[in-house]
Amino acid sequence: MTTRFTLAGVLIPLIIFGLLATEVQAAVRRVPGGPGAGRRRMTTPAPQRPAVGPPEPLPVQPPGATQPIRRRIPILPPAERWDKIAKQQGPHTCPREEIVDDPEIHYHRAWTGGGLCGRRTAVKIDCCFGYARMPGATGCPLAKPLTSMMTTAKLAGAGAFVDLNEITGLKDAISGASYHALTLLAPTDRAMEQVPEDILESFKSKGQQNLTNYREGPPSLLFHMLAGRVDLKSLPSNSLIPSLFADQPIRFNVFPNGLITADCVPIVQGSLESLEGVVHTIQSPLHSLLTKGDQVGGFSQVPSRLSSIVDTVARHPNLRRFSAVLSHAQRTAASPLLSHSQLHVRQGSMPAAIKPITLLAPTNDAFDVLPVEFLQSVLYNQEALTALISNHIIDGVMCSAIIGVGGGAPGPRPGVGPAAGVGPAGRPLRKPQHMLKTVVGNVFHATCEHKASNESDISHSDFSTADAMNATIDHTNETEEKIHHDVKSKHSADKTKGSNVYMIGDAVILKSDIMALDGVIHVIDRVLVPKRARSLSQIATEMGLTILLSLLPNTGLQSALVGRGSLTLFAPSDDAFKALPKDTLDYYYRNPQETRILLLSHMTSGRYLSSNLIDNQIMHSRYPGRDMRVRVYRGTKMVEDGKIIHSDEEGSNGVLHVVDQVLIPAEESIVSYLTNQGNYTHFLEALSKTTPPLIDLIDSSAMEKQNHSEGLKDHHFTVFAVADDDMNWENDYIVSSSEPYSLPDDAKINNIMRNHIIPSVVWTKVVERNGFYPLQTLDNGESEDGPGRSVMLRRVANGETVTAGNAVVIDEDGENGVQQSNIICTNGVVHRVKGLIHTPNPYQSTSG
């Protein structure tokens, strides 16, 4: 055969061979790795160029690969974060944070976190005070020459305050005392608008004063001056620094977000160097400029501040009721302010160490709305009185300026009220919240909302402390909606462009930041009553136990839940009352005397917390002859047939526990109940055929006569009863229903019936969903080596079915109107089951 070579026959194999060789060479050079790595070749790496735009996402790690360790970047406080950003712009650059809708309100430390009282803030980077920019240079390298203290204050925006110093001659006296460095707290021009007109007029009418020494100046101005340079950078978090007015102290606080306050007044711009010292501009005048005192030596003498919180409260007429409560607590040694009230500080002396606190002081009107019975029960209960006072005390200094800090997320916060401010895209900013924890442990939401000057509002800073204390205020139905027109009319309301309303819980702060030697006071319009100081009736009302409270009238038990004394109440929930047959509940409404007996059966004398309850504890109820038995299970506590679903609500006159069942006392024994039902004849017959007869064991009338019952705990049992229709001695249920019923041999009766008697009380509600609960049965009577076997009680995953061994518990919750399980008897509980328990523990492998 002649072989023919064609051109196509030669070229096609060569092309295929070349392609295969290229693929093999490429496969050798491929880089193993993640997705897409096989298409990269190993070549010399090219020089890296700066990335333009956002960085590429990291490749996804294959399953099982070790993840790289990521470093956590610490979150800086707002002020430190903006200080760091400003420094990156160049030397001597500083942030300036201002309210968006009112730029006149600004701060030279960005501490608000984006919002203040629901108003948005914006931060700008500019030159620090005393520095300027230079062409071609970054930042602000040009240092301006230092000026005098008053000139520095005027350049910083405190010109009106400087004018007062010029009128009194204090400016010249300071400039002549160059050998003493001073610190000046200068209110801004916006802040000086808060000073009452009569105080300003008193300065203007005196004209120039000839002062030989600056210490001769007006006390109201000397209170704004400190000896030496006070550097804010090295200032402790809580400092008392004497002022030039009789060494009265000014409290400086440094908060974590960067806010620095002097007597709770925010410092707008701090540490401004001058020739004679340092200047700090402040957002509001200190209290000396807001209060007109007695005329002494031609000047207004401001009242002394060297007094404790207790003494400060006692001086103000509008806090007399609260002061009386504190005084009563001191006499009974129930006051946590006892150490503060004993503080005696002489003029000119400073305590070495005082732990400051914040006191929320309710007005007289706030106490007037409280029931007289409640006040009496609290005043004569030392623990309740301590809790009441402690619920008005906060550790440390909490200035009002710190409330409402933060921008908040867009949209209203449920349960807080209308949103304040406007966020991105025109959406409202929710009202910021600040969490406050009192020394008693209760937590309150402190909120702040800004209101314009044309809105009804409670003024925060435009009237004096004395005016706020002496004003008569009506708090009947109002919180922040009620306005103190009588106070606000004393000063011109059009001076400020708006004010902030501060709230702690539901209480409005009427006057904030009243300074004392050992802390700060905020006056509020209602008493913050903790549960420990409230009566059981008030606690039941707050918890919504409406049906229980509706049964109280005409029973004469209102005083037991309101007055003095100490009791423990196991209060059925509304659902527990609704689960009763309608005729039963109507019967109690129509018969107050029976209702009284029922409710007394839910009470016991003394305080019993759930942590102190023990198993099989017997509590004597307030109704003679009716006792309550406590059973303790894993994760559950029962009182009779009621499960404690909410516990340990302590009040001034006792403890309240909520149970899920009305504790109606049992009236018949187990045998009596089964006999009266009429459909348990075969079950009772089988119990009587055992050796010894089990029916005698569960029969309360025969127990005392039977020696074999001794040793069983209080003779209480759980019985899994089988109705006549379900009695089947064959495990497979093959026996025809037409065949007459008959008993098996004695051995089988003894073996099976012992699965139905448990020598303790067990309620099916103690078994959790998909949970198992083993129940120890009676001894089989043949051996003394130990207890008998156990019956496994189980609740399936759907939570609706409960089984005892192989038998199903019937009608656990009584949904068909006739409850057939969890039946309380005088000597135990009965559960109806579907069939005899042939296999006590079908889940042997599971339980073992």
487 CB burial (10 A radius; 0-12, 13-18, 19+): buried
575 CB burial (10 A radius; 0-12, 13-18, 19+): exposed
H or E stretch including 537? helix 536-542
User: What was the pLDDT predicted at 115?
Assistant: 87
Q: How many CB atoms lie under 10 A from the CB of residue 636?
A: 15
C-alpha to C-alpha distance for 512 and 521, rounded to whole angstroms: 7
Instruction: Please list, residue by residue across 279-300, b when 16 or more beta carbons sit within 10 angstroms of its beta carbon and e when fewer do.
Output: bbbbbbbbbbbbbbbeeeeebb
Side chain identity, residue 481:
E
User: What was the pLDDT predicted at 784?
Assistant: 40
pTM higher than 0.95: no
C-alpha to C-alpha distance for 236 and 691, rounded to whole angstroms: 84
For residue 692, cis peptide bond before it (omega within 30 degrees of 0)? yes
- At how many degrees (to 10) do helices 382-390 and 320-331 cross? 130
What would the 3-class secondary structure string for 195-259 be? CCHHHHHHHHHHCCCCCCCHHHCCHHHHCCEEECCCCHHHCCCEEEEEECCCCCEEEEEECCCCC
C-alpha to C-alpha distance for 693 and 687, rounded to whole angstroms: 6
User: What was the pLDDT predicted at 117?
Assistant: 87
Side chain identity, residue 652:
S
User: What was the pLDDT predicted at 703?
Assistant: 46
User: What was the pLDDT predicted at 169?
Assistant: 86
H or E stretch including 300? strand 299-301
Q: How many CB atoms lie under 10 A from the CB of residue 329?
A: 21
Q: CB of 779 within 8 A of CB of 759?
A: no
Q: CB of 809 within 8 A of CB of 796?
A: no
Q: Determine the distance from the C-alpha atom of residue 528 to the mean position of all C-alpha atoms in its chain, rounded to a whole number.
A: 15
What would the 3-class secondary structure string for 54-111 be? CCCCCCCCCCCCCCCCCCCCCCCCHHHHHHHHHHCCCCCEEEEEEECCEEEEEECCCC
Tokens for 729, please give them: 């001695």
User: What was the pLDDT predicted at 409?
Assistant: 42
C-alpha to C-alpha distance for 683 and 798, rounded to whole angstroms: 30
Q: What torsion do the CA atoms of 695, 699, 702, 704 make, to the nearest 10 degrees?
A: 120
Tokens for 568, please give them: 């423990």
Query: Smallest Cα–Cα separation from 769: which of 738, 735, 812?
Result: 812
- At how many degrees (to 10) do helices 592-600 and 582-590 cross? 110
Tokens for 372, please give them: 């007289």
| Residue pointed to by tokens 């039902």 | 677
C-alpha to C-alpha distance for 719 and 754, rounded to whole angstroms: 10
**pLDDT less than 50: residues of the chain:** 1-3, 24, 26-58, 295-298, 340-352, 408-430, 455-496, 702-713, 780-787, 846-848
Q: Are strands 443-452 and 498-504 parallel, antiparallel or unpaired?
A: antiparallel
